[in-house]
Amino acid sequence: MNHRVTATAVRSILFPAAVSLASIACFPAGSGVSPGVTTLRVALWAGGFELEIEQQVADRYEALRPGTRVLLESAPNGYEERLLTSIAAGHPPDVYLLDSPDIPTFVDRGLAVDLAPYQEALGFQADRVFPQVLEAYRRGRALFALPKDFTPMVIYANRAVLEGAGVDRAVVGQNGAWASGWTWEDYRRAARSVTTDRDGDGRPDVYGFDFPRNLFQWVPFVWSAGGDILAPRGDRATGYLDGPAALSAYAFLTELAEEGLTPGAQFVQQADPAREARFASGGQAFLLSGHWTLPLFHDLVRAGALDLAILPIPHHPSQPGATSVLYASGWAVPPNAANPRQAIDLAGFLASPEAQRIRARSGLAIPTRVDVAAEIAAADPTGVEDAFIALAERARVTWGATVRDFSRVERLALEIMDRRLLRGEPLEISAAEVARRVDEVLAR
């Protein structure tokens, strides 16, 4: 995702009717609250049903802490900028939601309190949290946010579309697996099988896939080819973003588009607003996304109208398996919070098992507590939740969790495959040029 831009785009897609309750710097503390009541302000980006669920969490905290009022201040758009402004202006929220690609921006600038000394008092059990999620928020022994939830990127598969094209159900396998070994060639063959022009107008009515233009989507294909986009220390792109493994991933993905297995070029430079509906209605076999898309399909799956499987990212034949990318969020406290003691207590509750159980009703992400996630999976008869948890074990946290201003890297990376698909430019040329420009960004 140009992660800050992309995260915003994802939120607006999922919550198109969401209206910001306030810009984060606009609500005076205690507004509309009786004297003697402690008001705690929470900054987040939730909208729609997700915001309703977060209000239930806030209501529960208020019930447990009489004399406390929790105000949720949501900014689905421009979240990072508003949050930075509010902290710099001396009017920060008491607690804020920290997206994994924003960790360096806030932690490296000293804008998040180290919560490690308060873990025992809060009842926070680090050994009960998915380790790769917890590590995203650690710097040495310090812990700058208490993990809320997370998701790996996965492949959604419409079994009915695949079976209709002659792909045997046994080959598709169970959730979280592809029976014959899920390589790029398996993926290409399946995409070719389903792509058909039913009405004879010269354009497919069913596609294999939709083109993954953004780095947050395609980076696991690079990892699953045995490569990376940055050097191990995150300080250099040349030799990686333009390396052999990365180039093989770009070639594989652009060839899918050039072969007509994805919708047209109009979606190369803009979002594809119909992709979820096309997938659910049988017009597309595969969909690359995170857990946040799952609520869109719940009713269809329960009604038997969508035979859904969750599969790993396909991997290069040279590799034993796939490595996906993982996105997480956590609750942080700014150093200049008006009510630091109460803010830390609230952050602890927002990350607690009780809060995670309430929040899991939204279905947008996986709880970061291993035991809570297991409870949710045990109650799911479809096996989808189990598949997500299994696939998270082979996922890496986004580079944005360690590289400051990674959104600049993501914006530049858009050009690599765009220039191939729109101009016919060789991938080696565009990737090498973009890698050099990324190096300049990383050196600043």
**Tens-place pLDDT, residues 100-125:** 999 999 999 999 999 999 999 999 99
Name which of 139-148, 200-209, 333-342, 429-438 the model is least confident about. 200-209
Mean pLDDT, range 407-431, rounded to an integer: 95
pLDDT at residue 270 tops 90: no
- Residue 8 CA to residue 253 CA, distance in Å, equals 24
pLDDT at 339: 93
Q: Set out the domains of the chain in order of their start, with CATH numbers.
A: 38-151+327-399 (3.40.190.10), 154-325+401-443 (3.40.190.10)
Q: Which long-range contacts (CB under 8 A, 24 or more apart) does 428-436 make?
A: 428/242, 428/247, 431/241, 431/242, 431/246, 431/247, 431/250, 432/238, 432/242, 434/237, 434/241, 434/242, 435/237, 435/238, 435/239, 435/240, 435/241, 435/242, 436/237, 436/238
| Integer Cα distance of 225 and 322 in angstroms | 8
Token pair, residue 238, equals 């040349």
The pLDDT value given to residue 212: 92
Q: Which residues contact 245 (CB under 8 A, 6 or more apart)?
A: 222, 225, 226, 227, 228, 316
Taking residues 175-190, report their average pLDDT. 86
pLDDT tier for residue 444 given thresholds of 50, 70 and 90:
confident
Answer yes or no: are the C-beta atoms of 312 and 78 closer than 8 Å: no
Mean per-residue pLDDT of the chain: 89
Which pair of tokens denotes residue 119? 């873990």
Whole-number Å distance between alpha carbons of 55 and 49 = 10
Q: What is the pLDDT of residues 340-356, one digit of tens each?
A: 999 999 999 999 999 99
Distances (CA, A) of 146 to 279, 345, 351: 35, 11, 6
Q: What is the dihedral of CA 207, 14, 8, 113, to 10 degrees?
A: -130
pLDDT at 15: 34
Helix (H), strand (E) at residue 96:
strand 95-99
Does pLDDT of 174 surpass 90?
no
Across the range 128-132, mean pLDDT stands at 96
- Between 32 and 338, the higher pLDDT residue: 338
Tell me: pLDDT of 167 over 70.
Answer: yes
Q: What is the pTM of this model?
A: 0.90
In the prediction, which pLDDT does 32 show? Answer: 43
Please give the pLDDT value at position 442.
96
The more confidently predicted of residues 16 and 95 is 95
Q: How much is the pLDDT for 7?
A: 42
- Give pLDDT, residue 17: 31
- Give 208's contacts (C-beta < 8 A, 6+ positions apart): 190, 191, 192, 193, 194, 195, 256, 261, 262, 284, 285, 286
In this structure, the chain runs to a length of 444
- Is the Cβ–Cβ distance between 333 and 347 less than 8 Å? yes
